[in-house]
Chain A
Amino acid sequence: MLVERFLGGDARAFEELYSKYYEKVFAIARGVLLDSDEAADAVQEIFTLVYRHLGRFDKRSRFSTWLFRVAVNRSIQEARRTKYRSRTVALTEAAGKVTDEEPDTTDPRIQMALAKLAAQDRALLVLFYWEELSLQDIAASIGCGVNAAKTRLYRARERFRMVYEAML
């Protein structure tokens, strides 16, 4: 509905889309990039892409699925660009930095284990555990079949477990 309104020329409809999906897209970007500032920038780029190319949305899937696919691809692309940046330093600096965010009480080893994974693996874990998408939606979001998504998710989880348990 919002999509059709926007495509029909209603500019305010896009602002509503942006507000509606901002947090989910931000969560995906943060899960892949592991940095809130980079994630915020990535979200702006993702919605810019959506703003420009919404006409290509063929409506065969839900808008959210299409949006998440854009978000995952763009976040992975950005993560590859910043692959060699030291995540450990960034996490350490972030820990001592005064921000608007609530204090992070999660196990730091989870973050460190996630940082050691490939961006594609992080994207799968984020979609499944953070966004709690179904396997069908994950498959649509990463552009593969359900069985392939299940296999990839299993492997990503195993890789995460191995890295995480190596830290214990």
Chain B
Amino acid sequence: MKKIAPELDSLMWTLAEDGGDRAIEEFGNRNPELRSELLRRIAIVQGLRSAGKKPKPAMASIPRFIPKEPRGSVFQSRPGKIVAGLALAAIAAVAFAVTVLITPPTHPRVPDPQPPSEPARSHAQAPPKVLTPPTTPTNPPTNPATAPEATNEQPPPKAPTGAATLRKANLHIDHAPLLTVLKMIGESCGVSIVPGPGMPNPTVEADYRDMSAMDMLHDLGRKFSFTAFDEDDGSILVVPGVDTGDHPEGTGNEGARGELRGRKIGG
């Protein structure tokens, strides 16, 4: 259909709504090409108006007014809002409690024996560790034979006995100081490794696959002349010196430890 000028369009609606027969006839004479369009609009207006008049209720009286509850949302009423708010608060509290219950407890962080003397170039492949706030490093005991049991220092956090030192990990280190390597072993396996005084600190290389901390330390101890003792509290004491194994009884840690305590140890 050809676009009708806005003023003619408006005029046609006016005529369709309020125009008399004479005005309509005159418009048709002046704009014969719009005559059919005008008639269509008249039909539309008449149809709309008649639709509003029918159907009409035939009943004699209108229905009695009975106040009814609006079919709105429950949130539209004040009690509904209060109930909904309480329900949301209860849901939030339950969700918080469930979250707290299912979250595993964080493991205590391994104490840092001493800062590394040089950065290590290593690729430690260990299970993901739990990050905890830093703890105050404990000083290494002055005497490995008496510390840490004989001191009043805060003992390192308790770990499940045996399980911690049995945890296996992968470790690959190229040219790192021994003390740094010990620290990384401890972090990888989740144990506290406490180096004793006089520990050598040579540059070492290591490549361990699926080995426990004790196995790694035994291997390193053979190479660099130190001995590791499982303290049974989640920590491993490392002292310089090697157990020669020539004692007649007891091949376990306790025997070796006793032997070492009884002789001069040192680098």
Contact = CB atoms under 8 A, between A and B. Distances in A.
A109 B262 CA distance: 111
Given A101-B56, A102-B58, A157-B13, A129 B70 contact: no
Interface in B12-65: 13, 40-41, 44-45, 47-59, 62-63, 65
Interface in A97-133: 100-107, 109-111, 114, 125-126, 129-131
A15 to B, nearest CB: 7
Contacts of A101: 55-58
A134 interface: no
Contacts of B62: 18-19, 22-23
B48 A44 contact: no
Chain A interface main SS type: helix
A45 interface: yes
Interface residues of B, number: 28
A104 B57 CA distance: 11
Chain B interface main SS type: loop
Given A45-B68, A165-B40, A106 B47 contact: yes
B47 A107 contact: yes
Interface stretch (A46-54, A58-66, A84-92, A135-143): A46-54
Given A18-B65, A100-B57, A101-B56, A161 B41 contact: yes
Interface band, chain A: 35 or more
Contacts of A161: 41, 44
B66 interface: yes
Nearest to B56: A102
Contact of B51 (A40, A110, A165): A110
B250 interface: no
A105 to B, nearest CB: 6
B227 to A, nearest CB: 80
B223 interface: no
Contacts of B13: 157
Given A22-B62, A45-B71, A165-B40, A129 B45 contact: yes
Contact of A48 (B49, B59, B70): B70
Contact of A49 (B53, B54, B56, B70): B70
Contact of A27 (B44, B52, B58, B69): B52
Interface of B: 13, 40-41, 44-45, 47-59, 62-63, 65-72
30 contacts: A15-B65, A22-B62, A23-B57, A23-B62, A26-B57, A31-B52, A44-B66, A45-B71, A48-B67, A48-B69, A49-B70, A77-B72, A100-B57, A101-B55, A102-B56, A105-B50, A105-B54, A106-B50, A107-B47, A110-B47, A110-B50, A110-B51, A111-B51, A114-B51, A129-B49, A129-B52, A130-B51, A160-B44, A161-B44, A164-B44
